[in-house]
Amino acid sequence: METSTTIARPWRAAFAGVADWDAPIEAGTVPALLDRAVAAYGDDTAITFRDRPISFRALAEQAGRLAAGLLAAGIGAGQTVALYLPNTPWHPIAFFAVARTGARVVHLSALDAPRELAHKLTDSGARVLITTNLPHLLPTALRLLEDGAVGRVLVGEDARWGPGDPSPLPVPWSATVTPPPEGAPPPRWPAISPDDICVLQYTGGTTGLPKGAMLSHANLTAAVAIYRNWNDGGKTQRHRVIAVLPFFHIYALTVLLLRGIAEGHELLLRTRFDVATTLDDIGRRRATAFPGVPTMWIALANHPEAARCDFTSLEMASSGGAPMPFDVEQRVTQLVGRRLGGGWGMTETSPAGTRIPPGAEPQPGLIGIPLPGIDLIIVDRTDPGRILPPGEVGEIAIRGPNVFRGYWNRPDETAAAFRNGFFLTGDIGVMDAQGLFRLLDRKKNMIISGGFNVYPAQVESAIYEHPAVAEVIVIGVRDPYRGEAAKAFVSLRPDAAPFTLDELRAFLADRLGRHELPAALEFRDRLPRTPAGKLQAQTLRDEEAAKPLATS
């Protein structure tokens, strides 16, 4: 049996040329990362949004003015600021500004229901929320203010970046609804340590309520360095990157925003995914990199204009955030003329974890080898202190400078999540003799739908509020577009009338995010149970897995 101090790393010999295995992993602060980028790239374009370029210098200057205004308003170290923003320049400006003050960022998703947003605000302690006046954000932000979930809302006007779609809403300015404050930078910015918490990134739990993963400045900047030490194989050092993945998601925050700024890339910033725009970014604007999620690649592969698009500019094409169906991966590879890059990671790993080396034979479930600076092992599911040899199935465990500091205000859950310095991921996998890892299942009952995590316990808790529901089990089922979707199995109370899926979704609309709403509903007279009488989801998963996958 191996111990935690004698970890075998067969991937280094089997795939020697794919990474600089011995390069140092630089871990600093997010403001220092931006400062180095300004010194290196200055007036070059960092972001193009609505055909308007924003240079590295201009981005840093705008973030600096906002940081100064926040400091003057009493916001700084020890405090948390919520960002409720889509992919517009307001996000990177606000993100770098809050980081500069020494405060923590908590990201809120536009997909979250108001109740979930209120939980994240209350749990994180954020009393200030930064948003913009788009119709799918501003009304919810004002409702959170009215309900007392936050004390102040700062609204960056969307019109600052030129006309867009949808049209922005008028803002009801008041003492608690104001523009983001600006000021002159102070003689000296607050001192920030790499060990300070930069982001509270919420991830779900098996008990239903999301919990904040504490990601330090060192975690995030180390993840950027780890990705940089991997050989992506492209000719271009500074890429033109399609940035449509939402920055409030950890994958896009690190892989697109932070890595893009650190390496001098131009980000073609897009508020939402649109197939025609993406094809134009590739065919006409000659984008050289497109990190997407499976739903985006599926939409591209199915679009009638895709076959006429010139994909030759793409040097980096990758899929992350959720498993890519094997048959879809083959179709996309044929379409773009290159194999999609892929891998595995988690919110708790910032999200660096593995990448698939070019020489690895494609196979279902393949997630590749650890990125440089990261150790990955397979441990016994019942005894995580025991490391398993190649070929044996167990739980994936990870350690590295990118691994989070624990769960916010949850010391017991933090302690239970680590063993011998390794984070126990809850994912079930296997490693072969070359060090290639395959993901087989998830120990935690989580659904990944369109790249977003959906936690059945949270969905079940909301469905139980329906007056007709006696019992419910929610599982993930295969979906040809999202990869997975939630399906609810319901038994009704005596004399209660059944309801339609649309009626259930309408009932849940203010209780769950759009990505969490069930895509299927089935009534059962009784739900399966274990011999001990507990509801048993595995029986339903087995039934669904035996069904043929629908194609429409």
Inform me whether the pLDDT recorded for 533 exceeds 70.
no
Supply the pLDDT for residue 449: 84
Contacts with 45 (C-beta within 8 Å, 6 or more apart), sequence order? 53, 54, 55, 266
* pLDDT tier, 201 (very low <50, low <70, confident <90, very high otherwise): very high
What is the percent of the chain where pLDDT is above 70? Answer: 94
CATH fold group of domain 30-192: Rossmann fold (3.40.50)
Distance, in Å, from the CA atom of 510 to the CA atom of 489, rounded to the nearest integer, reads 21
- Whether 10-26+213-442 shares its CATH topology with 30-192 is answered yes
Q: Determine the average pLDDT of the residues in 363-372.
A: 90
* pLDDT tier, 3 (very low <50, low <70, confident <90, very high otherwise): very low
Supply the pLDDT for residue 234: 64
Q: Which range has the worst mean pLDDT, 245-249, 283-287, 454-458, 503-507?
A: 454-458
Supply the pLDDT for residue 384: 95
The β-bridge partners of 469 are: 492
Contacts with 434 (C-beta within 8 Å, 6 or more apart), sequence order? 10, 11, 14, 15, 369
Tell me the helices (H) and strands (E) count for the chain, helix number first: 16, 26
What is the percent of the chain where pLDDT is above 90? Answer: 70
Paired tokens of 13: 């010999």
pTM of the model as a whole:
0.86
Supply the pLDDT for residue 298: 79
Report yes or no: 462 and 212 within 8 Å, Cβ to Cβ: no
The pairing of beta strand 422-431 with beta strand 418-419? antiparallel
First to last CA, the chain: 48
**Mean pLDDT, the chain, integer:** 91
Return the beta strands (E) in 437-498 as ranges: 437-442, 447-449, 452-454, 469-479, 483-492
Mind spelling out the 3-state secondary structure of 206-267?
CCCCCEEEEEEHHHHHHHHHHHHCECCCCCCCCCEEEECCCCCCHHHHHHHHHHHHHHCCEE
Question: What ranges do the domains of the chain cover?
Answer: 10-26+213-442, 30-192, 447-545
Q: From 1.10.3720.10, 3.30.300.30, 3.30.2320.50, 3.40.50.720, which CATH number describes the 447-545 domain?
A: 3.30.300.30
Distance, in Å, from the CA atom of 369 to the CA atom of 431, rounded to the nearest integer, reads 9
* pLDDT tier, 439 (very low <50, low <70, confident <90, very high otherwise): confident
Residue 535 identity (one-letter amino acid)? L
Nearest 5°: the CA angle 384, 389, 390 is 125
Distance, in Å, from the CA atom of 109 to the CA atom of 453, rounded to the nearest integer, reads 12
Distance, in Å, from the CA atom of 431 to the CA atom of 19, rounded to the nearest integer, reads 19
pLDDT (tens digit per residue) in 450-507: 878 787 877 888 898 899 998 899 999 988 878 889 999 999 988 899 999 999 999 9
Q: Which range has the worst mean pLDDT, 44-48, 414-418, 430-434, 540-544?
A: 540-544
Supply the pLDDT for residue 237: 82
The pairing of beta strand 469-479 with beta strand 197-203? unpaired
Supply the pLDDT for residue 294: 78
pLDDT (tens digit per residue) in 394-413: 999 999 999 999 999 999 99
Inform me whether the pLDDT recorded for 383 exceeds 80.
yes
Nearest 5°: the CA angle 304, 308, 314 is 110
Domain at 10-26+213-442: CATH code:
3.40.50.12780
SS3 355: strand
Tell which wins on pLDDT, 28 or 112. Answer: 28
SS3 473: strand
SS3 15: coil
Residue 539, CA distances (Å) to 30, 223, 418 in order: 47, 39, 30
Distance, in Å, from the CA atom of 161 to the CA atom of 542, rounded to the nearest integer, reads 50
Supply the pLDDT for residue 347: 94
Inform me whether the pLDDT recorded for 271 exceeds 50.
yes
